[in-house]
C-alpha cells in the first residue's frame, strides 16, 4: 500500500548524503521543530543531561572539522573530515555521524592513530573551549545514526563518547506521532524509506526489497 516516492524512483534509500539532507530539511521546518525536540530529548546519554534543542537551533551539513589554530598541536589533536550533521543550540553542539551502508565497523586508523570519530570529537571540543568562538563553553553530544544491520563496533574510548541511535529508534518514535506529519507526502516518503533500515540484518533487508518489487509487479499487471 506504500506509495512509490522519489526515494524509490531515484534509488536513494541507501544514500547517506541524501538521507542526511532529508534529516536536515525536516529538522529545520518550523512545523516539525517540536517533533525533533521531543526525539532528541528522548535519547539517554547516561551521565549527560538530556538534549534540549529549543526553538532556535541551527544545522550545518558537511561541516569541515579541520582545526585551524596555531596554538593547537595538530599531532596531538588530529582533526579534519566533514561532519554529516552539526546541530547548534543556545548551549550545546550535537555531532551526528549518519551511517547506512558504509562500513563503519572498520573505520580505518590514520597515521596519527585517530579516525573520523576522534577527529570530530577533537573539533567539537576545540570549538567549545576556544574563547573567541560563538560555540565557547557549549555542552557536546556525539551520535551515530545507523541501521540495525550495521551497528558499529566501537573501541572502548568511542563507546564512552558516542551514543548509537538506530533508525529503528527514530522510526518507532515517528510511528507513535504519525498524526503530526501524515498529511505531508514528503515526510511520509522519508518515513517510509527508513523502514528498511530498521531490519535486523542485510538478508531481511534484501527480502523486504524483493517482496516490495514483487507485489508492485502484481498490482501493475492487474
pLDDT tens per residue, range 114-149:
688 999 999 999 999 998 899 999 999 999 999 988
3-state secondary structure 66-104: CCCCCCCCCCCCCCCCEEEEEEECCCEEEEEEECCCCCH
Distance CA 15, CA 99 (A): 9
Give the position of cell 538478508. Answer: 203
pLDDT beyond 90 at 150? no
pLDDT beyond 60 at 108? no
pLDDT beyond 90 at 63? yes
Q: What is the pLDDT of residues 11-35, one digit of tens each?
A: 777 788 999 999 999 999 999 999 9
pLDDT beyond 80 at 83? yes
pLDDT above 90 covers a percentage of the chain that reads 55
Amino acid at each position: 500500500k506504500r506509495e512509490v516516492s522519489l526515494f524509490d524512483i531515484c534509488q536513494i534509500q541507501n544514500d547517506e548524503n541524501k538521507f542526511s539532507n532529508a534529516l536536515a530539511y525536516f529538522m529545520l521546518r518550523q512545523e516539525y521543530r517540536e517533533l525533533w525536540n521531543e526525539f532528541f530529548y528522548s535519547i539517554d546519554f547516561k551521565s549527560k543531561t538530556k538534549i534540549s534543542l529549543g526553538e532556535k537551533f541551527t544545522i550545518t551539513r558537511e561541516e569541515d572539522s579541520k582545526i585551524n589554530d596555531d596554538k593547537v598541536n595538530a599531532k596531538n589533536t588530529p582533526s579534519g573530515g566533514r561532519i554529516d550533521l552539526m546541530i547548534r543550540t543556545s548551549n550545546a553542539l550535537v555531532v551526528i555521524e549518519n551511517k547506512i551502508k558504509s562500513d563503519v565497523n572498520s573505520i580505518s586508523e590514520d597515521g596519527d592513530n585517530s579516525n573520523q570519530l576522534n577527529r570530530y570529537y577533537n573539533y567539537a571540543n576545540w570549538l567549545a573551549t576556544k574563547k573567541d568562538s560563538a560555540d565557547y563553553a557549549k555542552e557536546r553530544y556525539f551520535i551515530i545514526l545507523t541501521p540495525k544491520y550495521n551497528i558499529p563496533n566501537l573501541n572502548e574510548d568511542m563507546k564512552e563518547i558516542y551514543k548509537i541511535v538506530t533508525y529503528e529508534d527514530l522510526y518507532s518514535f515517528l510511528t507513535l506521532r504519525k498524526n503530526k506529519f501524515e498529511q505531508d507526502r514528503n515526510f511520509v516518503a522519508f518515513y517510509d524509506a527508513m523502514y528498511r533500515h530498521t531490519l535486523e540484518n542485510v538478508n531481511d533487508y534484501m527480502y523486504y526489497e524483493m517482496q516490495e518489487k514483487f507485489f508492485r509487479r502484481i498490482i501493475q499487471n492487474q
